[in-house]
Amino acid sequence: MNTTVSILIVDDDAMVRAGLSMVLSADPTITIVAEAPSGADAVAAAIRHRPDVVLMDLQMPEMNGVEATRRIHHAVPSAAVLMLTTFHLDTHVLDALQAGASGYLLKDVAPQELCHAIHLAAAGESAFSATITRQLVARQARSRGDDGNARAARTLAVLTERERAVAEAVAEGAANATIAKALFMSEGTVKTHISRALTKTGLDNRVQLALLVFRAQQSR
């Protein structure tokens, strides 16, 4: 993963932006093209600079990270949005993922892990904690009832056995290379199965596919 990735940093805290900028500037494979202090500024900056990845704060005044993610996803679909959260069980994370975010990270993530996650997101892969996502889905299931989980199970049932196996591996946070090795297939075949699974389920990205798998599992 040596390709240079362009980054837009979004956070209403100037010190957080400065800290992220300092960490990421130390990586020669990452270029910071802009910073934004609000959701509205983030959307404008994304349209202007068309970054590969947007690091998006969740909690911001006026326009929060969820709405900014939704607008960026529609205006600049090539940009992967990684949510940054302080809380392990922030329910807004699920809303952000459904709005088109490619994953999420805790703000105390180690610099090396942050850079790795950015490259994963730029390559179209997952950058999220499967454990935390499961907890979020379980919390949402308890608060909203079982209907959504049952629908998820029915939606997942349209996949072939191999497509479902790949989807379940995606839900565990596995990268394409890891899935390919575990399921004895090429990375190209893994990508094809993911693409078909997304088409059949009407989803936008692999993190949404992971959410679907987790919800289906809640229905058992």
Each residue of 136-188: pLDDT tens digit? 767 666 655 567 778 889 999 999 999 999 999 988 888 888 999 999 999 99
Domain residue spans in the chain?
5-128, 145-218
Which whole-number Å values give the CA distances from 200 to 68, 153, 159, 161, 177, in the listed order?
27, 13, 7, 13, 23
CATH architecture under which domain 145-218 falls: Orthogonal Bundle (1.10)
pLDDT value of position 1? 44
Query: What is d(CA 195, CA 212) in angstroms, rounded to the nearest whole number?
Result: 15
Query: What is the percent of the chain with per-residue pLDDT over 70, rounded to a whole number?
Result: 90
pLDDT value for 146: 62
pLDDT mean over 206-218: 85
Q: How far is CA 11 from CA 8, 57, 144, in A?
A: 10, 5, 30
- State which amino acid sits at residue 69: T
pLDDT, position 172 = 84
Q: Compute the C-alpha angle 54/173/167, nearest 5°.
A: 105
Give the DSSP H or E segment for 1: none
Comparing 5-128 with 145-218, is the CATH topology the same? Answer: no
pLDDT for residue 220 is more than 50: yes
**Per-residue pLDDT tens for 89-140?**
566 777 888 888 888 888 888 899 899 889 989 988 877 777 777 777 676 6
What are the φ and ψ backbone dihedral angles of 173, each rounded to 5 degrees?
85, 15
Average pLDDT, the chain: 88
Q: Answer whether 11's CB lies under 8 Å from 21's CB.
A: no
Mean pLDDT value of segment 35-46: 96
Pick the CATH number of 5-128 from 1.25.40.10, 2.60.40.290, 3.40.50.2300, 3.40.50.300: 3.40.50.2300
State the average pLDDT over residues 20-35.
95
Q: Say whether pLDDT at 195 is over 90.
A: yes
Q: Nearest-CA neighbor of 155 among 194, 205, 195, 212?
A: 212
Q: What is the mean pLDDT of residues 18-38?
A: 95
